[in-house]
Structure 1
Amino acid sequence: MAVDRAEETAADAGEAAVSAEAAVRTYAVAPGVRLNVRSGPGTDYGIVRVLPEGMRVPIFCQSPGTTVSGPYGTSNIWDNIDNGQFVSDAYVQTGSDGYIASRCG
């Protein structure tokens, strides 16, 4: 019977992980933009990858950084889209000029 409980616990954990992933909201990157993803919140950080056009990104937290002008205004807010990966909020359609997620840190 212990095996059955372990299997149930593993199944519950798997379902919780899927639910958490489904609950993550994503935001559209500006149309026609291939967006640089940087290792930190600013243009002085290295580019770790480039997002193709038409991408949507999650925002886990936000940090102040280099001020950038883009399709959605001028902002010093940088969106953390993955571990060690940031994009300028000026290129992400969040519907706000301010913070929409907690500050990173």
Structure 2
Amino acid sequence: MKKYDDEITRKGLYLYFILYQIVMLLIVYATIYTSFVATGLAVSKYDLTFMMYLPALLSLAGYPIVLYRTRKLFLQEKRLRAVVWVMGWAWVIIIGLYWHLSHITTL
């Protein structure tokens, strides 16, 4: 019979959390990319300034910071809080970008 080891379980959970963060990063970056493309089309169609790209640029720079901070939370044994923060900030960024795009097209 094998012995139960907390250290192996902790390393396995950390690996799953890293994979979860990678998947969430890909989802958020796909949304940011579509936001860049849609903003580019709106800028060329409505003669808008480059400031319309600002929400996408802030999201592009801000989400990796969130991932870094949640990784630190996970290592402090606040696992559920880290998972919820990754999902919550992804939701805020995606909804915020789509809200921004919907308001660009109504100008």
TM-score of the aligned structures, taking structure 2 as reference length: 0.35
Query: Greater share of helix residues, 1 or 2?
Result: 2
Does 1 or 2 have the higher relative contact order (CA < 8 Å, sep 6+)?
2
Larger radius of gyration: 2
Query: Greater share of strand residues, 1 or 2?
Result: 1
